[in-house]
Structure 1
């Protein structure tokens, strides 16, 4: 099931009734016993996007993964506009399955405005474009199914459960089967594909789950295509007591910072 099929279903249903969006996502998007968090957040974002004026772009997205979303079973996306101002609109989206809230997101959308404040981000990733990608190995019953939709190429750090001392991950990412038109919804789905930075420290497989994910988009985005690689650099800010705090920067093919990502991850090891 291609991501465009899912996003288009959200768009079509939202045109009829923004508060009655029903979906079922195939097992090819599974991550353990739930759907891959990036696809879940992307679909909720798309529903919220349809409830907001197109001139307002997403500035921030905060998502809490509350419970598992079962693949192959129907769930609903409920959208509520909390406040619609002249410049900024605040929206909440929820995923309900079996009458239980499984995911909740809050997004802020804002129009571009003329401003005397203009500060460019000086940080560069300094990584060579992946001419010979170092792909993540596909290990049965270990590598999540959803990763079959993406390409990951690592530059720094280790793969999960390899017992490295490194706690940062640098690399490149893209869709394996390109979207027809690359949108912010696709970028949300793409950013979350990397395993938590701390899993590489472990020597054997263990459970881990993202509790909360905060994503900030840097605008304006330059136009990219579905085949373009995005650069990704994540670091562990702190980890203890079974929880890890990580943050990442994401650049497009032109070296422009497009997003900042932060997560709180529960690690059961």
Structure 2
């Protein structure tokens, strides 16, 4: 099932069953879960409000091929900021929660841009991320690793990055699509581990810097993440995501668990 089909049904209030092709072990791929939550939050927001921050917490496995509900609540809707929360509920239990902050742009003479895109190798000089142990959902993406350590290669490199896009091109990229893309990468600490290990994301925060909708939908998006710290199977990482011309799209912070 194409990502556009899933997001379109969320926007119009339908709840189609998520196919197993988007699976990650016994749960649904976290990037798709985050994208569904993001799409639910964006529905009904005034057109002059821009999504600036998305916080996601994964509570329990979100199972494929089972009905679910999305419960949206508006916390505040002022002149400048609208704050909403959504809960994904399945079998009467909360599976994931997200909060979104939508902000109206103000007139201001101040413009601050400190981002410089990392000087990563080109796609031609990078390595296609493939492997028999990759989860089912990874067939939805095309990713090239430009940093030294491949995931689960036993390489002590505290960074992971490269280039990513959907295998089946969306009609138009949105913030929900970007959420899905960002989480397609394994945890940044994964190169330290020898052989594939089960993993999960505990919490996730994305700060959106510039619109995604101006990008060509088949564009390769840049991704570079660094480990903040890791111990006892838990690691924190911070990532930057940028457009082909070098414009910052978002910053992402994740807390992940690798079981192994």
TM-score category (smaller protein): over 0.9
Superposed CA deviations along residues 112-151 of structure 1, whole A, max 9, x for unmatched, are 1112321112322122441365211231xx2111110100
Q: Tell me whether 1:87 sits opposite 2:80 in the alignment.
A: yes
Superposed, 1:1-269 pairs within 5 Å as: 1-13=1-13, 21-131=14-124, 133-139=126-132, 142-221=133-212, 223-269=214-260
TM-score (norm 2): 0.96
Q: Size of the alignment, in residue pairs?
A: 260
| Contact 1:56–1:110 (8 Å) recurs in 2 | yes
Unaligned runs of 5+ residues in structure 1 are 14-20
Question: What secondary structure sits across from 1:162 in the alignment?
Answer: coil
Question: What secondary structure sits across from 1:54 in the alignment?
Answer: coil
Q: Distance in 1 between matches of 2:153 and 2:124?
A: 25
Partner of 1:18: none
The more displaced of 112-121 and 232-241 is: 112-121
| Contact 1:162–1:203 (8 Å) recurs in 2 | yes
Unaligned runs of 5+ residues in structure 2 are none
Q: Distance in 2 between matches of 1:55 and 1:200?
A: 41
Q: Distance in 1 between matches of 2:19 and 2:179?
A: 19
TM-score (norm 1): 0.93
Superposed CA deviations along residues 78-135 of structure 1, whole A, max 9, x for unmatched, are 1111100111100001100000000000000011111232111232212244136521
